[in-house]
Amino acid sequence: MVKKYVYGNPFNTEAVVTSIPKEEGALTAGSVSTDKGYTWTYKMDADDIVYGLGEANRGINKRGYIYVSDCSDIPDHTEDLRCLYAAHNFIIISGQNHIGLFFDYPAVITFDIGYTRQDTITVHCNEANVNLYVIDGDSAYDVVKQFRKIIGRSYIPPKFAFGFGQSRWGYVTPDDFRTVVDGYRKNHIPLDMVYMDIDYMKDYKDFTVNEENFPDFKGFVDEMKARKIHLVPIIDAGVKIEDGYDVYEEGVEKGYFCKKEDGSNFVAAVWPGRTHFPDMLNKDARKWFGDKYKRLIDAGIDGFWNDMNEPAIFYSDEGMAELKDFLKDYINDTEEKIPYFAIFEHVGKIKNSPEDYKRFYHNVDGVRVRHDKVHNIFGYNMTRAAGEAFERIAPDKRILMFSRSSYIGMHRYGGVWTGDNKSWWSHLLLNIKMMPSLNMCGFLYTGADLGGFGADTTRDLLMRWLAFGIFTPLMRDHAAAGTRKQECYQFENVEDFANLISVRYRLIPYLYSEFMKAALSDDLYFKPLAFVYPEDEMAANVEDQLIIGNEIMIAPVYTQNAKGRYVYLPEDMLFVKFMGDGSIVTEEMSAGHHYIQVALNEVPMFIRKGFCIPLAQPAETVDAIDTAHMELLGYDGASYELYEDDGIHKDYDNGANRKILTK
């Protein structure tokens, strides 16, 4: 049962696709005050668990901290951080009752979940213009399924996107890309994608390619295709200000950039230097920007990642002028009256400043809207621009798309990666915990930068992270410029990496099938244990093991130098260990606590009692996976419903896509 409460005059984010009449009766969960902005308060029971918030910091159970939806370009995901790149304003309170709440509000909003007072949730935003959806359900899982129905089907990528991808900020020339492909192919490490970070462009100009480096870009895309590699270029939100650059000139001429109060185009500095932001909230501008992806699609590109779309601002013209002014005072301050930390503060404040987000406007169907009031839906609408364009450009084909910033609703147009993490063990654990929460908010095609983006990785961290990444729909190794080289072939005993990633390819028929079934029925791909074993009190405490699809449970190792880990089995299960030599060892284990030994080059996994899963032979590309000759791993007599399609087109509901396999 979903009820919609309308407060004030909310902005239509189009996050919800089902039409739900406005509820006239009293609010059934918590209470609302509209005295100072909008405040929703709720008293929790001692044992209530709070799920949700999608891409957010900390645990699966969100209790005990404060989270802010304020899409930010923030690379240091330390434990005290309150906001990340996304705004996923959906929570589920689960205890005696099970209640879902979606605060559909596109500006900054705070979720104090037992931070100020242990037993109280306070959700606050500055303006009392909110659509609040309240969902009553039989369980947390039931609430999530009802929510997913009203926000529409999740984005489905092409099947190749389930392969492994290599990325690094700093590949510049065709030879840089060839070296990566050679490194993987020579060592027989499976690979389907190589990502093109900003250096493929000419001076970081969107929809351009540096022609000095790539005199025949289409030819290069074809060369890679012949080697079964999909190149996936990045697209940034800001359009470089440069005379003669057609995207800039067209945008200016048509009035498609975000404007300041005086009507001039707002200037924000990002990678290309000074840029304008396309007005992603303006339908015409969105169509115009989306159509530009065609240039790369025409060259054979079939996947993209959208970045810097919070939108990130290194500095604005105004911010820089203010800083210079301040520094001038400092330089002239011969008596040293200005404390040195005031300089740090001023310099630090220039990036992603809330003041800048008040300096520009959108044109939403003829109405001028100040950016800070809709800040959290900019990235969503950038990805929507692309998604809507893909429907026009290639209506039958799936195109890979994922974004850094997002809001619920964007899940229909693309996946997300979780941004600039670090090569920290704690970020591997954060990655594990974030996945089911993202799924609850509709984001199924997700993954983190495996090995860590910032800081220098270590061989063991990369291996353990890959052993978890095997199970994330987006499986990509990505690293920042200046960090230690992180491609799998850079490390000793490269055959260990080949073996780990081969496990992914052996599992792709199963993982793809479970992903598709989840997407087609608005279900979860990753579930917390408590969703599957609601009666099991112990299961509710486990945050470092996850259920995938219907059949398996994973328990990744995420601690340095650990030789294994403790695992909790809510029921009898089959322990499956993919060994370093390609063989598989299985052992039936009874419900309860166990310690499992897991060497660095091994992948642990559990099959739930009475189930089986299909397993293919190793392959080096998704195309080469032979689904006609698969074995079934698991319990004798068990059956599995396999979903399989060509992975390219959108003929999802064809009955021939499903078949029953019996062991």
Binding residues for ligand GLC, rule: CB under 6 A, are: 169, 197-198, 234, 307, 404, 419-420, 478
Residue 236 beta carbon to ligand GLC: minimum distance, rounded to whole angstroms: 7
* Least distance from ligand GLC to the Cβ atom of residue 630, Å: 35
For residues 287 and 256, what is the distance between their CA atoms, to the nearest angstrom?
Answer: 10
Bridge partners (DSSP) listed for residue 575: 587, 606
Tell me the three state secondary structure of residue 464: helix
Task: Please identify, using beta-carbon distances, which residue of 433 and 478 lies nearer to ligand GLC.
Answer: 478
Q: Report strand pairing: 230-236 vs 303-307.
A: parallel
Secondary structure of residue 74 in the 3-state scheme: coil
- DSSP-assigned letter for residue 21: P
User: What is the smallest separation between the CB atom of 382 and ligand GLC, expressed in angstroms?
Assistant: 14
* Closer by beta carbon to ligand GLC, 197 or else 302: 197
Give the helix ranges, DSSP H, for 232-339.
246-254, 283-291, 293-298, 317-331
Q: How many CB atoms lie within 10 A of CB 519?
A: 23
In this complex, which beta carbon is closest to ligand GLC, that of residue 196 or of residue 432? Answer: 196
CB of 15 or CB of 480, closer to ligand GLC: 480
Per-position b or e across 62-82, b if 16+ CB within 10 A of its CB? bbebbbbbbbbbbeebeeeeb
What 3-state class would DSSP assign to 208?
coil
Q: Between residues 307 and 522, which has the closer beta carbon with respect to ligand GLC?
A: 307
**Which has the closest alpha carbon to 415: 190, 157, 600?**
157
Sign of CA dihedral 437, 488, 614, 228: positive
CB closer to ligand GLC, 49 vs 198: 198
Smallest distance, ligand GLC to C-beta of residue 75, A: 7
Query: Minimum Å distance from CB 35 to ligand GLC?
Result: 39
Q: Which residue is nearest to ligand GLC (CB)?
A: 169
Contact 271, 235 (CB under 8 A): no
| Least spacing, CB of residue 627 vs ligand GLC, in Å | 33
Residue whose CB is less far from ligand GLC, 189 or 201: 201
- Indicate the residue among 101 and 198 with the shorter CB distance to ligand GLC: 198
Q: Residue 492 contacts by C-beta under 8 Å, 6 or more apart in sequence?
A: 459
Provide, rounded to whole angstroms, the least separation between the CB of residue 633 and ligand GLC.
35
Nearest approach in angstroms of CB 68 to ligand GLC is: 20
Q: How far apart are CA 143 and CA 131, in angstroms?
A: 18
